[in-house]
């Protein structure tokens, strides 16, 4: 313990901020518009009778209200090592440019002559992602990683339909450690899901894969490395086996940070891959979007890509509407094209060497952390016997801590937040290890940040043995305390709006 840095004193701002809906004073105004009479322009049957129950608040009070709420949001003001999400710096230059009229005040259906700047960003980023993946074409329409998986499901459907095989090829094969969006989007597209279990080495066996493959196989959806930092060294054989069975291979590259510039999806034989611009490519999280799941594929699948796409055309850039065999749209227009601009800016600032260095640092820092975390009493790692360095993440377990102290992962999250640490990621469902947690160091956090994060976890685990109630009753330094644990699945209890809350619970 002695070589850990001292812990900061931290306390979140406490404002006891009311809901905006409670700040209303009749007659106050936050925005004016020129007054005109237009009652005659709405058909009588469609005129609004009762005004909406919105608050009446003046402009400065709206500003201060939301500024206070922002202060009660830790975000990346603290240290966030939220694994699988690759928390990294979002260059503010890009934010500034995206907020300017040359991005913010563009309509997606403008004539291509008037959109050359945005189209050039699309083309330049596509070019960079082609270099990083070996794929032939990219679409930025998918509005998140899950939407990219959904795009693959739609393209899989279209590909097999084009080969007269749609009714037979109805199975998507994936692993129990794939992100839930892979089986979920495939199921939404009408596929049946075949899920492979993990072996003790951290990935499914190729025998299990072979047993799952048949003439009903439509595609494999797989990530590599998985969320435990384990790389499947047989992945080329997997791709060959799936192709031999007539299926497609989709590489969910959510965990790209550890292998950027080291491997390329197309070199490994994959037909398609997905990069998350809001993770790996420096675009902000925004609390959950707007995001981009950049979907890349080989020439084999390019005819099925959603439109529109960008092509270089003499001196400028042209819009391709999408081929006749295109799946159409998974989301309207270009997708979150302002995020494409930011991701291009990130690639431009990093260059090939910067990107390779970022993956070096991510992996080095993860292993640096691993050495120190495993020295903490109560912490173990998944697949303890799997030798070698992990990639950019390691899956740990607080199962031992829980057995010995009764303190679980959620308690530790809450207590760590008392020292300015944003909640760690546990694991996607299903949990194969008890009380999992998955920090990801990435390339943005300094060694001091990492040492501090480790010091806080060491402190909290130590506290769990000394004074478990202190951890179990956390947080103590936030604006509000721990959830009461009301049953939010009960229709009489849940309230997603103020009106529902008032009806069910009074004021």
Partner 1 sequence: MRAHPYMPNSAPALKAAILAELGLDDAEPLFGQIPEDHRLREALPLPLPPAITSEVELSRHLRGILAKNRHCLDNISFLGGGCWQHHVPAVVDEIVGRSEFLTPVWGTPSSDLGRNQAWFEFTSQLGALLGMEMVGLPVYSWGCAAGHAIRMAARITGRGKVLVPAEMSPERRMVVDNYCAAAGAGRAIEVVAIATDSATGRLDLGDLDARLGADVAAVYFENPAYLGMIESDAAAIVEAAHKAGALAIVGVDPISLGVLSPPSDYGADIAVGSTQPLGVHMHGGGGLGGFIASRDEAIYAHEYPTLLNSMTRTAAGERVFAMSLMHQSSYGAREEGKDWTGNSTYLWAIANAAYMALLGPLGFRELGALILRRAHDAARQIASVPGISVAHPSGFFKEFVVDFGGTGQSLDAIDEALRVRGIFGGIDLGARLPGREHQALYCVTECHSPADIDRLVTALREVCA
Q: Return the residues of window 386-405 that contact partner 1 according to CB under 8 A.
A: 388-391
Nearer to partner 1, 6 or 429 (CB): 429
User: Is 199 among the residues that bind partner 1 (CB under 8 A)?
Assistant: no
Q: What is the pattern of x (binds partner 1, CB under 8 A) and - over residues 421-460?
A: -xx-x--xxx------------xxxxx-------------
136 binds partner 1 (CB under 8 A): no
> Could you please report the per-residue DSSP string of 140-167?
----SHHHHHHHHHHHHHHHHHHTT-TT
| Residue 17 sits in the site that holds partner 1 (CB under 8 A) | yes
Q: Give the contacts of 287 (CB within 8 A, at least 6 positions apart).
A: 75
| 1 belongs to the binding site for partner 1 (CB under 8 A) | no
Cβ 6 to partner 1, closest distance in Å? 20
Site residues for partner 1, 299-358, by CB under 8 A, read 327-339, 341, 344-345, 347-358
Q: Which is nearer to partner 1, 403 or 450 (CB)?
A: 450
Q: Please state the closest distance from residue 372 (CB atom) to partner 1, in A.
A: 9
> Would you say 404 or 501 has its CB closer to partner 1?
501
Alpha carbon 436 to its chain centroid, in Å, reads 18
Number of residues that bind partner 1 (CB under 8 A): 219
- 35 scored as a contact of partner 1 (CB under 8 A): yes
d(CA 320, CA 126): 14
Nearest distance from C-beta of residue 25 to partner 1, angstroms: 10
**Residue with smaller CB distance to partner 1, 403 or 471:** 471
Contact range with partner 1 by CB under 8 A, out of 17-25, 241-249, 393-401, 463-471: 17-25
Class of residue 231 by CB neighbours under 10 A (exposed 0-12, middle 13-18, buried 19+): buried
3-class state of residue 193 by DSSP: strand
Of 200-229, binders to partner 1 (CB under 8 A) are 218, 225
**Which of 2, 48, 314, 324 touches partner 1 by CB under 8 A?**
48
- Give the binding range for partner 1 (CB under 8 A) out of 31-39, 205-213, 296-304, 399-407: 31-39
For residue 67, state whether it binds partner 1 (rule: CB under 8 A). Answer: yes
Pick one of 4, 210, 368, 404: the residue that binds partner 1 (CB under 8 A).
368
C-alpha–C-alpha distance, residues 441 and 84, integer Å: 10
121 binds partner 1 per the rule CB under 8 A:
yes
Q: What 8-state DSSP symbol labels residue 50?
A: S
Which member of 5, 8, 11, 28 binds partner 1 (CB under 8 A)? Answer: 28
> How many CB atoms are located within 10 Å of the residue 270 CB?
29
Distance CA 15, CA 23 (A): 14
* 9 belongs to the binding site for partner 1 (CB under 8 A): no
Closest CA to 247 of 174, 178, 296, 144: 174
Query: Would you give the binding string for partner 1 spanning residues 469-498, x where CB under 8 A is met?
Result: ------x--xxxxxxxxx-xx-x-xxxxxx
> Of the candidates 2, 9, 37, 314, which one interacts with partner 1 according to CB under 8 A?
37
Q: Write down the least CB distance from residue 329 to partner 1, Å.
A: 4
Q: CA distances (Å), 252 to each of 60, 83, 158, 475, in order?
A: 45, 15, 19, 35
Q: Indicate which single residue of 173, 181, 309, 393 sits in contact with partner 1 (rule: CB under 8 A).
A: 181
- Show the tokens assigned to 203: 């990935």
**R_g of the chain, CA atoms, integer Å:** 25
- With CB under 8 A as the contact rule, the residue among 4, 7, 69, 205 that binds partner 1 is 69
Pick between residue 93 and residue 211 the one whose CB is nearest to partner 1. Answer: 93
**44 three-state secondary structure:** helix
Q: Are 308 and 122 in contact, with CB atoms under 8 Å apart? A: no
DSSP H helices in 134-234: 145-162, 181-188, 206-212
Q: Are strands 192-196 and 316-320 parallel, antiparallel or unpaired?
A: unpaired
Cα–Cα nearest to 299, from 275, 278, 259, 272 = 272
CA distance 119 to 310: 6
273 touching partner 1, by CB under 8 A: no
Residue 92: CB atoms within 10 A of its CB come to 9
406 binds partner 1 (CB under 8 A): no
Query: Distance between CA 119 and CA 114 in Å, rounded?
Result: 10
Order of strands across the sheet that contains 137-139: 137-139, 293-297, 272-276, 248-252, 217-223, 171-175, 192-196
Task: Out of 5, 197, 244, 286, name the contact with partner 1 by CB under 8 A.
Answer: 286
Q: Does 90 bind partner 1 (CB under 8 A)?
A: yes
């Amino acid at each position: 313990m002695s070589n850990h840095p001292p812990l900061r004193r931290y306390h979140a701002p406490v404002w006891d901020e009311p809901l905006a809906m409670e700040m209303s004073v009749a007659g106050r105004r936050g925005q004016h518009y020129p007054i005109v009479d237009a009652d005659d322009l709405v058909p009588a049957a469609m005129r609004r009778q009762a005004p909406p129950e919105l608050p009446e608040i003046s402009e400065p009070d709206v500003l201060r209200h939301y500024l206070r709420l922002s202060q009660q949001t830790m975000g990346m003001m603290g240290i966030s090592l939220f694994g699988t999400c690759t928390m990294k710096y979002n260059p503010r230059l890009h934010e500034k440019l995206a907020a300017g009229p040359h991005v913010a005040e563009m309509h997606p259906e403008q004539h291509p002559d008037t959109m050359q700047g945005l189209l050039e960003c699309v083309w330049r980023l596509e070019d960079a992602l082609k270099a990083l993946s070996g794929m032939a074409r990219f679409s930025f329409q998918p509005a998140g990683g899950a939407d990219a998986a959904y795009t693959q499901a739609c393209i899989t459907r279209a590909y097999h339909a084009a080969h007269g095989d749609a009714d037979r090829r109805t199975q998507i094969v994936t692993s129990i450690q794939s992100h839930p969006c892979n089986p979920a989007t495939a199921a939404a597209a009408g596929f049946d899901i075949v899920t492979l279990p993990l072996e003790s080495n951290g990935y499914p066996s190729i025998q299990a894969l072979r047993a799952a493959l048949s003439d009903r196989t439509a595609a494999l959806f797989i990530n590599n490395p998985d969320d435990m930092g384990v790389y499947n060294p047989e992945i080329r054989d997997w791709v060959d086996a799936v192709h031999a069975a007539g299926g497609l291979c989709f590489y969910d590259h959510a965990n790209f940070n550890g292998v950027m510039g080291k491997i390329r999806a197309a070199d490994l034989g994959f037909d398609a891959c997905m990069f998350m611009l809001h993770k790996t490519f420096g675009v902000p999280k925004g609390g959950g979007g707007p995001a981009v799941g950049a979907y890349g594929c080989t020439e084999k699948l390019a005819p099925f890509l959603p439109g529109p796409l960008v092509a270089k055309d003499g001196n400028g850039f042209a819009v391709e509407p999408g081929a006749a065999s295109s799946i159409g749209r998974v989301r309207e227009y270009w997708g979150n094209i302002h995020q494409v601009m930011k991701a291009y800016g990130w690639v431009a600032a990093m260059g090939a060497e910067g990107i390779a260095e970022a993956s070096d640092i991510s992996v080095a820092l993860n292993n640096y952390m691993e050495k120190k975390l495993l020295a903490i009493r109560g912490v173990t790692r998944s697949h303890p016997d799997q030798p070698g360095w992990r990639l950019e993440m390691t899956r740990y377990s607080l199962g031992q801590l829980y057995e010995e102290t009764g303190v679980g992962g959620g308690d530790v999250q809450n207590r760590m937040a008392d020292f300015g640490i944003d909640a760690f990621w546990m694991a996607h469902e299903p949990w194969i290890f008890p009380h999992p947690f998955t920090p990801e160091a990435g390339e943005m956090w300094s060694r001091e940040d990492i040492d501090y994060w480790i010091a806080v976890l060491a402190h909290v685990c130590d506290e769990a043995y000394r004074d478990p109630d202190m951890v179990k009753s956390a947080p103590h330094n936030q604006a509000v305390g721990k959830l009461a644990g009301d049953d939010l699945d009960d229709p009489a209890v849940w309230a997603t709006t103020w009106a529902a809350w008032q009806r069910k619970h009074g004021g």
